[in-house]
Amino acid sequence: MSSLTGRCACGGIRYELASEPMFTHCCHCLDCQRQTGSAFVINGLIETDRIRLTVGEVIETSFPTESGKPHLVYRCGDCLTVLWSDYGARGYLSFLRAGTLDDPSQIRPDVHIFTRTKLPWVQLPPDVPAFEVFYDMKSLWPEAALDRRRTASAAAKSSRT
């Protein structure tokens, strides 16, 4: 896979990823539909410190969620394109909007989630797992991805103490 770089709609923000995402969700929940104005969103889960801004600065905004947990959204202050989110305000884990990549075809969903609210005309590929709500990460994520997530979580906890 070649270098993963991306930008906002106006080009005022550019970023590069230090690695490919750990795992990629295609989320069909109503929150994602409303927030994107689309049928779904494709989020590449990646450690926040692996997203490097090369041009500009993002602004943080907060979206309401059905769960009530914080949903921090990072966007361009000029064109307001959402570049990534932090569901639950974890700090160490970001959900990168794959559509903001310079070449979005480099990322393919590993799983479809919240298909209970999937629009009826969306056809899911038969070779990608799909769940009405969520899934058990330990049974679906590759071990290397789980290790990356554990490492990032532990580093975040140790930096708070």
**pLDDT attached to residue 52:** 98
Q: What is the pLDDT of residues 121-153, one digit of tens each?
A: 999 999 999 999 999 999 999 999 999 999 999
* Site of tokens 């590993």: 110
Does position 67 have pLDDT exceeding 90, yes or no?
no
**pLDDT attached to residue 68:** 83
Overall pTM > 0.85: yes
Overall average pLDDT of the 34-44 stretch: 95
* Nearest by Cα to 125 from 148, 101, 142, 108: 108
The domains located in the chain, with CATH, are: 5-160 (3.90.1590.10)
Instruction: Report percent pLDDT > 90 for the chain.
Output: 86
What distances in angstroms separate CA 27 from CA 30, 33, 43, 105, 111, one per listed residue?
9, 9, 8, 17, 8
**pLDDT attached to residue 1:** 52
Residues 6+ apart with CB under 8 A from 88: 69, 70, 71
pLDDT band at 2 (very low <50, low <70, confident <90, very high): low
The pair phi, psi for residue 157, each rounded to 5°, is -65, -40
**pLDDT attached to residue 66:** 74
**pLDDT attached to residue 158:** 87
How many other C-beta atoms lie within 10 A of the C-beta of residue 120? 5
Rounded CA gap, 58 and 39, in Å?
25
Provide the token pair at 145. Answer: 């991805």
Residues 6+ apart with CB under 8 A from 82: 35, 36, 73, 74, 75, 97, 100
Does position 92 have pLDDT exceeding 90, yes or no?
yes
